[in-house]
Structure 1
Amino acid sequence: MAGDAPPGVTFLGVRHHSPACARLVAATVAALRPAYVLVEGPADLNGRLDELLLDHELPVAVFTAYRDAGRRHASWSPFCGYSPEWVALTAGRAVGAQLRFIDLPAWHPAFAHRANRYADADQRYAEAVDRLCATLAVDNVDALWDHLFEIGPDDGLAERLAAYFDLLRGESAAGEDDTAREAYMARWVRAARDRAGGRPVLVVTGGFHRPALIRLVADGPAEQDWPQVPAPDPDAVAGSYLVPYSFKRLDAFDGYQSGMPSPGYYQRVWEDGPQRAAEALTEAVAARLRARRQPVSTADLIAARTMAGGLARLRGHAHPARVDVLDGLVSALVGDALDQPLPWASRGRLAAGTHPAVVEMVAALSGDRVGRLHPDTPLPPLVHDVDAELDRHRIGPGDAPELDLTVPADLARSRLLHRLRLLDVPGHRCDSGPRVGTHAVLTERWSPTPAPDRLARVIEAGGYGPTVLDAVTALVAERVVLLGGDVDGLATLLFDTALAGLPEHSAHTLAAIARATGTVTDLTALGRALAVALGLWRHDRLLGSAGTAPLGALITAAVDRALWLVEGVRAATAPADRGRLAALVAVRDALRYAGPALGLDPAATLAVAGRVAADQAAPPDLRGAALGLRWSLGAPADAAGAVRAVAAPSTLGDWLSGLFALAREEVVAGEAALLGVLDRLLAGMDAHDFLVALPALRQAFGWFPPREREAVARHVLSLRGGEGDVGARDLLRLDVDPVLVAAARALEARVDEVLAREGLREGGPA
C-alpha cells in the first residue's frame, strides 16, 4: 500500500484520457488552489509550456524524435479535452499555480520500448485486473473502469481511485524503466514541496505511479534545486514538436496504446455527462448506418435504448455505460450470426470479418475530430522546407503533374515527389511511371491526394532532418540498417533511391544487397533483387548506374545463387508460385540482356535447367519453368513431348504456368505441336478432371497478355477448322466465370447419371 501522503502534497493517480479523472483534477485544483501543479510529462518541455497551452483545437500531441548511431526512437504524448494532464495544466494556470512536467524526456532510454508516454500500465497488473473483472462479471479493464468510476457518482471518487491503484500496484513490481522514472519524478515533488512555503502541491500522474511516489517523497531527502533535465548525447539528434492529432489515432480500436478506447464517446461524457453521451451514441450509430443505406427504423432505436437501459439496471449502472449502449444496439440492429466476438469484449484492433454494423458502431464511438495547431505554434524546419521545395518546383496541392524524365526540370520534380513519398508525406500519389521488371519508362503521372493529417506527418518526418534531402538521406540510411539481410526489402529501397535521385545511398543499399546475396534462402526475394539490379543496369541513365561494375557484380552473384536455390526446391505436388517463377524470369533476362557483357555462363544455366526439368521431385511449376528457360535461351526443348508426361489434371496447369512464364513468346511464335497436344489432352478430359485442372490452367494462361491470348485462340480455332480474328476474340469474351461453367457441366453430368440410374431419362419409363 502507498501509506500516508507527505504533508502539503496531494497525489492524484489517474487513468490517462478519463473524463472522471479529469473532473476530479479540475475540482481538486479549484479546491486547493495549489502553489505548484506537477504533471507526468516530459520535463524538457517545461520551458515551452506557453507554446503547449496556446489556443489549439484538441487533440494535439507532443511528438518527440531521437536518433543516434545506435538507436532511432519516436513517441507521442497526446492530449485531448478530457485528458487529466491537460486539465491539470489549464486549471492550474487559471488559479495562478506554477506548472511543471516532472517525468523524463520522451527520448530517454526509459521510453525505448514505448511509442506512447500515456500508455496505461494495465499489462503490468493484468492478473489483479482479471480477478476484479471475474468478480464483477465484466469483460475487460475498459468495462471494469466504466463500472467502477466513469458512470458512477463523483462523491468519494478520489478515495475509490486511491484504493484501486493501491490494490493493483501492491500486486505488481515496477520494471527498471519505471523505477528510474519514479525516482526522477519524486525529486521534482520534493523540490516543489520545499519551495511551496506551506502552500499545497498537487501531483497528477498515472495511477500506477502514485503509490511509489508517495513512498519515495515521504522517505527521500530534501531537494535544494530542481532536478536537472537530462540532455541527449552530443552526437544525437533529438527534438520535440507539437503535432495535430485525431480521435482515430487516439482510439484503442485503431491500435493506440491508451487506456481508453472510443474517444468520441468519452468526449461526449466529458462535455455532457454519461446519460446524454449514451443518447448521442445511439443517434450517431443510426445516422452512420442510414448514410450507408442500412435500414434503421424508429422502432429499432426505441428497442436499442430500451435494451441499453435494461442492461444498465441489471449491471448496477446509474446511467447506461458504453458497453450497455453497444450491446443494446447489437441486440436491436444485428440479426445475423456474428463471425467475430464483439470488439468491446476484448481490446485491440478490429478483427477481420467484424460485422459491418458493428464496424459502424465502433466508428461512431471513435469520432472524426482532428486537432489543429494555433497559428503561432513553432514548426520544425522541415515543414517550411517542404513548402519551399514544392513552390520552387511549381507543384501545387491540387496539381496532377505529368513528367517527362528526360527533361531536367521534370526529373527534378519527380525526385522531389519521390523523396516526399519515401518520407510518407501525403500530397501526391504516383499513378504510373518506372516499375521493377519492366522496360525503360521515361514518363510519370501523379495525382493529388489531400490528407487531413498532412501537417502532422510532415512534422513527424522532421525527426529525420531539417530539409527534405537531409531527412530522406537519414531515413534511407536507417532503413538499410533495419532491413539487414532482407534482400527483397533492400531491392525495393534500391529502386526507390534511384527514383529519388540519391546515388550515394543507392550505392550503400547495393552493397547491403551484395552482402546478403551469398546467404539468402528466399528465391522470391532474391529474384526481386535481381530484377531491380538488372533494370538499373540496363536502363538507369538518370543516376548514371547503367552498366556499372557494382550492379554487374550483383547480377552475376544473384544469378549463381538463384540457380543454386532452384535445384534445392523439393515439393512434387506444390502449386505454382509466381514469386519463384518471377525469379527464373529475372535469371532468363539476365542471360539475355547482360550475359555477354558480364560473362555469364549460359552452358551452366542450361545444365541446371535440364536437371530441374527432368527431376520428378521438383515442383511442377519449376519443372515447366526449367524447360521454358532452356527453350527461351535457344536450347532444344521438346515441350510437346514433355506436356504428355505431366498430363495429370492436378499438375498440368502448374507445369504450364512455369512453361508459359519463361517461354510464352516461343509458344505464341508457332509451336503448333505443343498447342495441339494440349488441345487434345483437354478435349479428352471428362468433366470431373477438367474441373480439377481448370483453376491452375486459368493461372497458367494468365501469363499471356490479351494480344498473345488472342493469338493462342486463333491457333485453337485453326485446330478445329475455324479461322478469323473475330472468332478468336469471341472465344475470349466469356461473360460467366469459366469455373462456374465447368461446375455447372459437372452438375449436369451427375444429374444425368441419377436420371439414367432411376430410369427417368427422356424416352425412359414414365
Structure 2
Amino acid sequence: MLLGVRHHGPGSARGVRAVLEAERPAAVLIEGPAEADALVELAADPGMRPPVALLAHALDDPGRAAFWPMAEFSPEWVALRWALERGAAVRFFDLPAAHTLAADPTWDDGENEGEEGAVGDGARIDPVAELAGVAGYEDAERWWEDVVELRGDGDPAAPFRALAEAMGALREAYGHGGHPRDLVREAYMRLRLREARKEFGDSVAVVCGAWHVPALTLRTTVAADRALLKGLPKVRTGATWVPWTHRRLARRSGYGAGIDAPGWYAHLFTAPDRPVERWTTRVAGLLRAEDHPVSPAHVVEAVRLAETLAALRGRPRPGLDETTDAVRAVLCEGSDAPLALVRDRLVVGDVLGEVPEGAPAVPLQRDLTRRQRSLRLKPEAEERELALDLRKGTDGDRSRLLHRLRLLGVHWGEPAPGRTGTGTFRETWRLRWEPELHVRVAEAGVWGTTVEAAATARAEGRALAATTLGDITALAEDCLLAGLADALPAVMRALADRAALDTDVVHLARALPALARALRYGDVRGTDTAALGEVAAGLAERICVGLPPACAGLDADAAAPLRERIEEVHRALGLLPDAEGTRERWTGVLHRLATHDRVPGLLRGRAARLLLDEGRIPDDGAALLMGRALSPGARPPDAAAWIDGFAGTASGGGLLLVHDERLRGLVDAWLASVPAEAFTDVLPLLRRTFAAYEPGVRRALGELAARGPGAGGPGASTPGVPGFAPAPDRERADAVLPLLHLVLDTEAPA
C-alpha cells in the first residue's frame, strides 16, 4: 500500500488517516532519515506538540545539519501518531542522514523532497504545476486545493491511486529529473521496503512524497540497489526532535517547498466541518482584539460572499483566495492594512512546537533549557520586548544569559536599538526563538557543557585569536556584560599586550570608549574592573600624548572620522572613575587642538566647542577663538569647516547661536564678508551645517537675523536676545540640583 502525498498537505493527511484506519497495516514506513527510528517513541509523549522537526547533525561538525519538519497536518506526522496509537510498527526508510550530511553539496541541491523534479538539462519542474497545467489551471496551488484539500467525502484511497498514476507518467517523461540523489534515496527505500515486507508480509503501508511512488514499484534486484549505495561517504551523526514554527514551514527547507499558508492548512485539518465559518470567526476575533469594528453581521456577510465567489469561480468550496477576498471586502472594508495583520497572525502564524524533556540533546542545550526555566524565559516564536532592571537579581541573571548566548553566536535576543542606556541599570531586549538556534547551540557545545563554561572558553579563544586592539576591547566589554569573571584574566593579558604594541593613536582612541563603558557596567553589575581601569588609564595617557601630532596637517576627508574619535574619547574620559588628572591633561590637549594653526578647521572648531561646553574657557574665550577662525585672513573653506565643527547639528550648535548673540554676530559678520567668488565654494558645507538644525532652531535664527543686531524685544535683559541675561546666573541654576539628586538617587556634595 503506497500512499503518495504532498508534504504538509491537510487533505493528504486526512486521506492517510482514513486509509490507515480502513486497512489497519501491521507496519508503517515513513519518508525520513533512518536514524529517526530511535526517536519514534518520543512522538507519543504528552510533552510533544507539533510543529516539530527531526534534526540530524554531524557530531564532529554540528553546523552541518538538516531538518525534517512536521506539522499537525503533515501526512508523515499523522501516520506516525496513528501507528503509535494502534500498536503498529513504524520505521523511517529514507537514506540515512549519515550519508546525506557527508555528501558533496554539489551532488544535489537538497530541495527535491517530493515537490519538485528536473529535466535533463538542469531546468527544474514542479510536478504539481505540470498536473495543474494539464487540467487547465494556471495556479498550481488552486488546482491542488480543488482536487485534494477541498474535495468532499468519498473513497479515501482514490486520490492516492490517481496521484500514483499521474506521477508515473511524469517520471516516464522526465526520468529522475537530473537529481542523482533521488536514484540513491529510492534504492535505499526499496531495500527497506523489501525488509519490511519480508517481516510483515503485505500488511505494510508506505507514506512518502508522491514523486517517489513510481520508483518504489520498479522491479529491480537487491544487488542493483546495493550497487547504487556502494561507496557513499559517511559521518558520525546525532539526531533529535526540536521545536519548529509555522513561519518556518513557509520557507524552503526539509520536506519539499515551503507552503504559503501553514495557519490556513492547520485550520483546514482541525476544522473539516464548516471551515469558512470557523475561519471567518477567528479573523473577526483577531480584528476586534486590535480595535477594528467587526460585528456578527460582518461575519455572516463575509461567509456568504466567500461562498458566492467560489460558485462564480467554479470551485467546490471556498478556498483561501475566496475567503481572503471576502475578509478584505467585508471585515477589512477594502483596506489591506488589517488584512496584512490577518495574513501574519493567522494565515502564517507564530505557532511554536514543543518537545519532551527526554528528547536527546547536547549537554549545552540541556543547561540552556534549565536556565530558561529557572529565569522564566520561555522561548517564543513571536518577537517580544523584554525590559530588564539590572539592579534586580533575576533581571541581572537574564541579562548575563542573553549576553553569554550572543558571545556564543546564539542570537536569541538582540539589544533594542536606542532603548539600552549605556552605563545605566536598564536594558531592553527583543527576543525571538528560531528553530535554527538549536543548531547554533549544538555548534557552541564544543566550547563547554554549560552556558557559562562555554562562553568563558569561547571568550578566551577569541582573546588569543584577536588581531586588533578594537576586537579585544569589544571582547572585554562583552565579558563584563556577560559576567564572565573567569575569562577576564586571559582577555586582560591579551588587551595589555596588544595595547603596548599598538602605536596608532586612532586605534587607541577607538578602543578607549569600549573600556570606559565596560567600567561603568561594572559599577552596576558588581564586577571587579580594577585591571580594566589600569589599562584604560594607560590608553588615555597615550592618547593625550599622540593625538595632537596625529591631527596636524590632515585634509578634510581625514579630519571627519578623527572628529568622531575625539568626541568618543571626550565622552569616555567622563565615564572613567578617578581620572581627574587624565581629564586635566585632556583639557590641555583640546586647548592645543583649538589653537594650533596646522590642525584642520573642523577639529579646531570641535575642540573649542568641547571646551566651551565643559566650562574650560570663558564665553569671551570662545568668541576670541571664533574671531581668529573667521578673520579676513582665514581661507573661506577652512572657516566654514570651523563653523561645522563648532556649531554643527551634532554638537547642538544651533541653540548655542540662538542664545549667544556675540557668537551669532561673529558668524553673521563673517558670512557677510565672504567674497562672492569664494562663497560658492563654502556654500555646500554651510548648507550641510545649518540645514540639519531642527525646524524651530532654523526659524529662531531666521527671525533674529531679520531683526538685525541689537534689535531686542520688550523685556530683554540684553539687546538683541529677548529673555536672556548677559551671563548665566549660576545661583539660580544650582537651585535645581537638590531635585536632580533626589530623582537620580545620588548624594549631593558636601
Question: TM-score normalised to the size of structure 1?
Answer: 0.62
Please tell me whether the aligned partners of residues 10 and 269 of structure 2 are also in contact (alpha carbons under 8 angstroms): yes
Map of 1:204 onto structure 2? 207
Q: Could you tell me which amino acid in structure 2 is paired with residue 271 of structure 1?
A: T
What is the 5 A alignment of 1:549-698? 569=557, 582-586=564-568, 613=600, 623=602, 627-629=605-607, 632=610, 638-639=625-626, 655=644, 659=648, 661=650, 673-678=662-667, 696-698=692-694
Deviations 1:325-349 (A, max 9, x none): 11222233445575xxxxxxxxxxx
Deviations 1:451-471 (A, max 9, x none): 897999789746633312244
Query: CA–CA distance in 1 between the matches of 2:137 and 2:510?
Result: 50
Matches of 2:462 and 2:653, distance apart in 1: 38
Deviation at 1:85, TM superposition (A): 0.8
Aligned to 2:177: 173
How far residue 312 of structure 1 moved from its aligned partner, in angstroms, is 1.7
Report the counterpart of residue 192 of structure 2 in structure 1. Answer: 188
After superposition, the C-alpha distances for 1:658-694 in whole angstroms (9 at most, x for unaligned) are 84647979979x987434445789999xxxx999987
SS in 1 for 2:208: strand
2:724 corresponds to 1:723: yes
**CA 1:501–1:221: 2 relative to 1, 3 Å:** same
Spell out, residue by residue over 1:421-452, the C-alpha distance to the aligned partner (whole angstroms, 9 max, x if none). Answer: 6566979999999966xxxx4x6346899x89
Q: Is this contact kept in 2: 1:190–1:222, CA < 8 A? A: no
2:101 matched to 1:108?
Answer: yes
Q: What is aligned with 2:261?
A: 262
Contact 2:252 2:258 (8 Å CA) reproduced: no
Looking at structure 1, the residues matched to 203 and 127 of structure 2 have their Cα atoms a distance apart, in angstroms, of: 33
Unaligned residue ranges in structure 1 (runs of 5+): 1-9, 339-354, 572-576, 615-622, 703-713, 730-766
Contact 1:462 1:471 in 2 (8 A): no
Does the C-alpha gap of structure 1 residues 383 and 128 become closer, same or farther in structure 2, counting only changes over 3 Å?
closer
- The one-letter amino acid paired with 1:542 is D
Residue by residue over 1:103-133, the C-alpha shift from the partner in whole angstroms, topping out at 9 and shown as x without a partner, is 3238824597999999774596456666666
User: Which position in structure 2 is the counterpart of 1:472?
Assistant: 455
Task: Tell me how far apart the structure 1 counterparts of residues 316 and 643 of structure 2 sit (CA, whole Å).
Answer: 65
Aligned residues of 2:131 and 2:166 also touching (Cα < 8 A): no
Counterparts of 2:74 and 2:235, CA distance in 1:
28
Summarize deviations over 1:219-266 as a string: whole Å, max 9, x none. 754779x99999745xxxx64443444445545599998633333322
Q: Contact 1:37 / 1:98 at 8 angstroms: preserved in 2? A: yes
SS in 1 for 2:151: coil
Amino acid at match of 1:161: L
Does the CA contact (< 8 Å) of 1:432 and 1:444 recur in 2?
Answer: no
* Structure 1 residues 671 and 542: alpha-carbon distance in aligned structure 2, compared to 1, 3 A threshold: farther
Answer whether contact 1:39 1:102 (CA < 8 A) is retained: yes
- The answer to which of 134-143 and 202-211 deviates more is 134-143
SS of the aligned residue for 2:29 comes to: strand
Aligned-pair CA distance for 1:84: 0.9
Q: Give yes or no for the alignment of 1:46 onto 2:37.
A: yes
Residue in 1 aligned with 2:367? 385
Aligned partners of 2:89 and 2:401: how far apart in 1?
A: 46
Contact 1:60/1:78, CA 8 A, preserved across alignment? yes
| Equivalent-residue separation in structure 2 for 1:176 and 1:221 (angstroms) | 15
Report the residue type matching 1:82 in the other structure. Answer: F
Q: Deviation digits for residues 399-420 of structure 1, max 9, x if unmatched?
A: 9985569x9x998886456325
**Which of residues 404, 421, 438 in structure 2 aligns to 1:419?**
404
Measure how far apart 1:28 and its partner are. Answer: 3.6
How many angstroms apart in 1 are the aligned matches of 2:462 and 2:207? 39
Alignment partners' CA distance in 2, 1:654 and 1:142: 63
Q: Deviations over 1:292-351 (max 9, x none)?
A: 22123455434432332233223332111111211222233445575xxxxxxxxxxxxx
Cross-structure match for 2:710: none
In 2: Cα distance, 1:493 partner to 1:102 partner: 47
Q: Distance in 2 between matches of 1:383 and 1:245?
A: 16
Q: How does 1:63-82 map to 2 (within 5 A)?
A: 64=55, 66=57, 72-73=63-64, 75-82=66-73
Is the 8 Å Cα contact of residues 613 and 626 (structure 1) preserved in structure 2? yes
Taking a change above 3 Å as real, the CA distance of residues 74 and 186 of structure 1, as seen in their structure-2 partners, is same
Q: Deviations over 1:487-540 (max 9, x none)?
A: 99997665323322446489679989999xx9xxxx9x9987663256558997
Asked if 2 retains the 8 angstrom alpha-carbon contact of 1:491 and 1:513, the reply is no
Counterpart of 2:162, as a letter, is: R
CA distance in 2, matches of 1:206, 1:513: 60
Select 1:92's aligned residue among 66, 83, 97. 83
Could you say which residue in structure 2 is the equivalent of 1:157? 159
Q: Please give the root-mean-square deviation of Cα atoms over the aligned residues, in Å.
A: 6.6
* Counterpart code for 1:78: P
Which amino acid is the alignment partner of residue 161 of structure 2?
A: E
1: CA distance between counterparts of 2:263 and 2:202?
A: 37
Deviation at 1:157, TM superposition (A): 0.8
Paired with 2:696 and 2:102, the residues of 1 have a C-alpha distance of: 53
Equivalent-residue separation in structure 2 for 1:157 and 1:280 (angstroms): 26
CA contact (8 A) 1:58 1:245 kept: no
Residues in 1 aligned to 2:469 and 2:113: alpha-carbon distance in whole angstroms: 35
- In the other structure, the counterpart of 1:55 is 46
CA contact (8 A) 1:654 1:696 kept: no
Q: Percent same amino acid among aligned pairs?
A: 27
Q: Is the 8 A contact 1:581 1:658 kept in 2?
A: no
Pick which of 212-221 and 454-463 moved more: 454-463
In structure 2, C-alpha distance between the alignment counterparts of 1:410 and 1:299, rounded to whole Å: 47
Change (3 A) 1:473 1:22: farther
Distance verdict in 2 for CA 1:611–1:383, change over 3 Å: same
| Amino acid corresponding to residue 469 of structure 1 in structure 2 | E
Contact 1:403 1:410 in 2 (8 A): yes
Which whole-Å CA distance do the structure 2 matches of 1:167 and 1:52 have between them?
A: 36
Tell me what 2:345 maps to.
Answer: 363
Residue aligning to 1:277: 275
Q: Tell which deviates more after alignment, 380-389 or 50-59.
A: 380-389
Aligned mates of 1:566, 1:218 — CA distance in 2: 80
**Equivalences for residues 526-541 of structure 1 within 5 A:** 531-532=513-514, 535-536=517-518
Question: Is 1:444 aligned to 2:425, yes or no?
Answer: yes
Any idea what the Cα deviations from partners look like across 1:328-379, whole Å, max 9, x if unmatched? 22233445575xxxxxxxxxxxxxxxx2333224423345655444566566
Alpha carbons of structure 1 residues 652 and 396: separation in structure 2 relative to 1, 3 Å: same
Deviations 1:558-606 (A, max 9, x none): 989x9899958499xxxxx9x9864452366689999999x99979x96
In the aligned structure 1, how far is the partner of 2:413 from the partner of 2:310? 46
The Cα of 1:18 is off from its aligned counterpart by 0.7
Residue aligned with 2:724, SS:
coil
> What per-residue deviation string (whole Å, max 9, x for no partner) do you get for residues 181-222 of structure 1?
4454444334434x3364243332233444455559667547
Partners of 1:217 and 1:464 in 2: CA distance: 45
CA, structure 1 residues 261+626, in 2 after alignment: closer, same or farther (shift >3 Å)? farther
Amino acid at match of 2:322: D
Partner of 1:542: 528
Residues 76-125 of structure 1: CA distance to partner in whole angstroms, max 9, x if unpaired?
Answer: 43322221111222223455432211232388245979999997745964
Unaligned residue ranges in structure 2 (runs of 5+): 119-123, 379-385, 674-683, 699-714, 733-750
1:7-46 superposed Cα distances (whole Å, 9 cap, x missing partner)? xxx4433222111111232234345544432212232231
